Structure 1
């Protein structure tokens, strides 16, 4: 645009600025003239500053380092305009709608300071005009009910969505500036969905806070946006509309010339994971009423299991086609077990133990079957003459099988952990329900008298809702749910064992890993089959016992391994260096055992012992700390010192607490 046109715009803006004070003193019936003048002046000011600030090199012969319109001028005109709007609004010379438009126009100018774009000012103005009505146009808080009607809420949400779609090019430029490269379609769509959800928060928070369905749908929209951003699923071209800006950025040949063509793995399975997460979130927020409809609960559990099974198979076991069916069946069984354990039906308590047994049976079958087909395909039926390429192929196959089996171990460890957590949660809920029932019996007489005052219709609705809520009762637990503690214990032990195997495979048997894996045993429950004497008082005993036993066994294995590698025969020469090494470290290992035995027995019984016994075992650990050659024995000794001091302090605290009752 020429300088002559700019001069005309500046003159027009000056004329409006001089006319507005005169229009402001007119009668209130003519206040629309003041509003029109202010809005016209704000639009002209935005247009002029946008061109001066973003295209100053046009008027200064391409010298970008010389700034023609500084940033502080944008800030000054913005705050001056907001101050004028505030003053005129206080004097009731302009209406609320004009205030809303002017605040959005003046505030949108600040976006030019953060992003250099041709349309960022107008995009910001459109977004502010779409988002701000719940904040600026519905200010009457004297009424308890919302001024915004439901159809107005839907209309505002639709306007917000359209505004975000209109501003997609600016969102694309922001993401491109942040990432340093053009964003994917999934990232762009997720950003638009997330921005739409965040922009709708004022509508729900200020005007529909009493409507639970509005909050649930808002959470679902925000979660969908975050999932699209994190997973970035592929979007077909038929679903997207690329503008010229986006198309030119995608068709740039710079990336190909610099980085070349890069083969990417298929990302379509991310749609399945996204669908499973959204279905779960919809079920948790009661958008899908699986709590009251058993058939819908079954369909939901099977759908989530199939989606997760296909996703895991396609993402991590793409070359092992025979495992796909087994993995899908495993995930379906896991999904059904978890869903119906949390929301049981009339017959689920009889079927769930068999479903868990099927999951346990599928674990060794899937593990052993993985690799057998590929190994047989590569190792059987080959000729006696093998070249180097075939050897490399065999090594690659063995490595692939080992990696796939490690992934299977991780998958089943996660499955058993989920089952153990779910059962632990349900048993804790049952205990709380039992306590509530015991407390309710005491107040049953007073409750019956108060229940008589409740209207019959309300009492019927409460009874109906209580009858439709799927939950275990204490009697039902004793009759049909006695399998839950045993199943939870089996799942916990299997998860712990698989994690130990993974520790050996991935870290070579790290000493620190046991301190992170042993707390898994806190999920053990008291049952009549495996842990009859195990109760809430002994919940820490498996943790401490597992740590002590693991360190003792691995220390013995380390001694044997060092002696075996140092001696060529089966035996150890009496008096030789290997014999001295083994005897010394075994003796030091034995010295650490009294502290662990005393502490584990104390954790099991929690009975007060003599104060001197834990302290007397502390000196036994000092030689092991100083002399030993095995790091595991040193850890055992240090842990024994900590155990002895902890036992002494706990016993002392119990003794002092008992004195209060004397």
Structure 2
């Protein structure tokens, strides 16, 4: 349809096809005469120059005024099913950020937002879409004003005014990004302003990786302290770099109107991608230098911390370049591969040497039995040789006979050197070397028998190490004797070593891998809960506080979630095992914020009750409701029961929030609120038809 025809009929043409629905940009219910003329004009154009259909994304907050009507019966035709494609990754960044801002702002901000969003919902229900849109922005603006005058930031301004101003600017930017994300949920904006929504999407992807790491680090430091803030910040930078800086297809790049603003295959352009790379590499280092300027170069350990904060994100960025993260440097695959190999080799050597100084000799020097300078040589051979061998295999450089033989020799050498370092008896020194041979044979030949032979020999080595170093110590650790605690640790290590072999079993034996992963995760949760919440060691009549590092909880959680996602993507575990493992790993994060010793199990039960609508039914066929009514009632009752089991955790959270024990009415209301919020996924995802008002 020509532009003149579009302006004459007040319609935005999507496709010149008779069966394609059209969407009004002015009137919600055009007259039948105009529709008849419009379809006649479409038929005439479709016979001369047919064009492909380009669907518009829809949104859950779309107005009913944009449901297309047929020209004959006037019944509502089905709206396009595609939504804004990146809601999930934006929710992962902005929803926790919004929750943290609400916690900072307190009751005034919560009250302003509650009133404003309720008014916006009412206007949207009355099909006053522009009013709902401006009400959302007015609510965010009013919440910002209330936030700026909150008591917490007013008291912080007395300590450091420049830092408070930066914090306010960060909070204002985050609120602005939340408003942009909310604006993209209005489908009428997508229809009437296609170039604007493409620019807003690009703005979100450009700004979220800058603002979210700082806000997440702020929240985590408020909970666990400032000691390792630089590493938290670097970890969040890598996380959001992966989510937003790797090229993603735009939700709006199929429209011809967007061709003028698309300068690359993805959402971001070269400038934004370059800024994200520089931010990832240098800002964590600068943050560490600013917060530790007094002790920056006082020891080799401090220097190694600076190098680690630069080269670990650098290694991560080189890995992300395999997914196109550095497309703005060059698009030639061979050149990029050379860049990865050369820079990765240098970065890997630096990281390994710094880890030796900062971690191995600093924290585990008591377990190194080789005398100096032989200990430095053997530790370097073990760590650097193992890292180079794994990197070569991961890069696909181990394939022919010569490289396989070199890889096998390196594995045997690394295993022998590591055994000498930890003081393994010389008489049985061939045993670890044999295990190195079998693990190399597994990597080169993909032999399952070789791998399980390696697991058996390595298990004997782990048992020897534990018995030799810990078995005779009269120490209470994590609320139990050390001898009992080491049994759980040994079992967890052996199960972890067995998982890669179980992953290669045939599909019929997939349940063994699922059982092994679930058992290992339960054991890991138990061990970390004991270490984190029973943080004291008793020996010889004395007590000493031992803090299990918070970053270890984060590392094991995110590594576990990444492993579960990868195994599910490779179809090695089923949806039920994925659901259970995701809930168990996610529940470990609750230990960072709640002091209760049972919070991890309570959180796991609540997540297992809430998440089935999100994880268990997502593979079912598309339909009006994937979950039957009786299943929904059953899940709702399970959610209510699980929330009741969490009553003590709710009580502790309310007591921490108010500073005093909450009254019974507040406790009951919080229980009802938690139950209702937990049931939202059931209604939104599986019964969307009950929300439609004709």
Q: TM-score, length-normalised on structure 2?
A: 0.35
Higher helix share: 1
Question: Which of these two proteins has the greater Rg computed from alpha carbons?
Answer: 1
